[in-house]
Amino acid sequence: MAATGTAPSPDGARSGGTAPGSTTSAGRDALYASVGAGLLAFQRLQVARRELEREVFGAGGPCVQLRQGVDNVLDVMEDRLPQPVAEALHRSRDAMDSLTRTLSTVLGLNLPTDRPGPVE
C-alpha cells in the first residue's frame, strides 16, 4: 500500500504547499508594509496637529482672543481694586504668564506667553 502523504519536491516543500522561505518572506513584507502605513498615518496626524495648533493658538485664534478679553477685564479690575488686592492680582497674572511659558516649552506648543495688548 502506498503512503498517503505527498512526496516532497526538490526545494523541500510538499506539493500543494508553499516553500517555508516564501511564507517568512511574505510575513516580513506584510510587517514592513504595516509599519510603513503606521508611520505615514503618524506623520499625517502630526501635520494635522500642527495645523490645528496654528489655527487655535495662532494670531487671531480663539485662544488669543479669549486671553485678550480676559486680560482687558483684569486690567480694568486692577485699576478699580484696592492697592494690596490689585498687587496680588498682578502677581498672580505674572505667575500665570510664567506657567504658560513653561507649559509652552515643555509641551512643545505655541501658546501665547505674553499678555496681549488691548483689542481695538
10 Å CB burial of residue 80 (0-12, 13-18, 19+) is: exposed
- Written as one string, the DSSP assignment of 75-112 is HHHHHHS-HHHHHHHHHHHHHHHHHHHHHHHHHT----
Angle, helices 62-80 vs 83-107, to 10°: value is 160
Tens digit of pLDDT for each residue in 70-92? 888 888 888 899 999 989 988 98
Full-prediction pTM beyond 0.85?
no
